[in-house]
Amino acid sequence: MEDLEDQKRKKKKEKMTLGSLSRVFARGKQRKSLDPGLFDDSDSLTQQSLSDGEEQLDRLQQAELTRNTCMSLWRAGAVQAWLEVVMGMPMYIRACSENVKSGKVLLGLTDEDLELGLGISNPIHRRKLRLAIEDYRRAEGDQGLSKASEMDHHWVATSWLSDVGLLQYSQTFQTHLVDGRVLNSLSRRDLERILNISDQFHQTSLLLAIQLLQILSFDKEALQAQRAKCELQDRDPIVWTCHRVMKWIRDIDLKEFADNLQGKGIHGAVMALDPSFDTDAMAKALGIPNNKHMLHRHLYEEMISLAVPHSSAEQGSEVINPSPPVAVKRFSEERLSMRRSGKSPLRLRANNHSVERGLGFHGSCGSLPREARVQAIPRAIPRAKGSPMHTYKSVEITNV
């Protein structure tokens, strides 16, 4: 209406050859002549908005009915409501209304039908529909819908990615409408070629977060309950979110490095399930300089402590994964073997005046400077004149 009014005014201005005073009167007449029409159109717009609201309410009611009704009993209206409200795919409603008239037809659709008949060119969109249809087909056998059906693409793109620590991919997941069922089907190839996630560690982080959901059978409530239990205690690191890992970093007095984990994709499942994730990987993600040997050693000790149970009461409580994280378990086994052999992980092994890095401790923490790894003397030998210890600097002796 505003555009039409502007066009009429422009035409009248071109025809007018009167002075400024006559133009004022002409505009006043124009306003009076338009007033009744404007009120009439506003009434029609109000009626149209009411009808749209009623139609939307009807769609919501039909979508709610599809949750408890077999797909084979759906009518055309229920199919369209399910596609728009439940699946979040309103862009395909027009093609669906023209080609799919019942739930029985929907159950028989193939990948080729979805692409040619409904015009769905996005492979993830087609996969999402096929997985949902298959889920409803199994639900008709009194099995019920899977827990993954409760994870819609809005939750995945916002809450789940935030917990993983890779919220920068939220728009990509929104565009491809990735929900819980699609998450369960994603592979590294899908992440790289379809979702355009090229970073190898980010791919691993996402796949391990999906593995955690598979361990819990995609039970969102169970995951949230387990995370609530370990929010104030350093237990069950496998369920920790990226934010919980950052809180743990602050709690162990490394708060100046905690914010460096944002956008890195380091969460509890990475710490617990990735065998290649060790102290060096964590220190690199935190941005701890390589020459900060004492900080590396401190981080190493704290990661070991995650494998130690807090109390006998907590040992008896239910946990998702009773075994300690892979990297932490490896560190703990190394320390145990060293203690049994009568050696300390903080003491150098002296054999023929050569340094042996004890069971990977110095290899992972880098506690000795490069030049200090050439020679060392046994503890029992005093520091005589000409001893290699005299060639060390004070800071190197402190590190040793």
Asked if residues 86 and 66 have their Cβ atoms less than 8 Å apart, the reply is yes
Radius of gyration of the chain (CA): 33
CA distance 122 to 125: 5
Task: Give the total residue count for the chain.
Answer: 400
Q: How confident is the model at residue 364 (pLDDT cuts 50, 70, 90)?
A: very low
**In the structure, what pLDDT confidence band is assigned to residue 366 with cuts at 50, 70 and 90?**
very low
Higher pLDDT, 189 or 317: 189
Instruction: Provide the whole-model pTM.
Output: 0.67
Contacts of 105 (CB under 8 A, 6+ apart): 99
Q: Helix (H, G, I), strand (E, B), or coil: what is residue 102?
A: strand
C-alpha angle with apex 95: 91 to 100, nearest 5 degrees?
Answer: 120
Asked if pLDDT for residue 4 goes beyond 90, the answer is no
Q: Which residue has the tokens 């007095």?
A: 253
Average pLDDT of the residues in 76-104: 91
> For residue 287, what pLDDT is reported?
95
Looking at the predicted structure, is the pLDDT value of residue 242 above 80? yes
| Domains delineated in the chain | 54-145 (1.10.150.50), 153-307 (1.10.150.50)
d(CA 60, CA 24): 52
Taking a C-beta distance cutoff of 8 angstroms, is the pair 292, 281 a contact? no
Classified as helix, coil or strand, 280 is helix
Highest mean pLDDT among 4-13, 29-38, 49-58, 61-70: 61-70
Does the pLDDT at position 18 exceed 90?
no
**Per-residue confidence band for 395, with pLDDT thresholds at 50, 70 and 90:** very low
pLDDT, tens only, 248-286 = 999 999 999 999 999 999 999 999 999 999 999 999 999
Percentage above 70 pLDDT, the chain: 63
Contact of 140 with 71, CB cutoff 8 Å: yes
Q: Is there a contact between 218 and 146 (Cβ–Cβ < 8 Å)?
A: yes
Query: How far apart are alpha carbons 200 and 351 in whole angstroms?
Result: 41
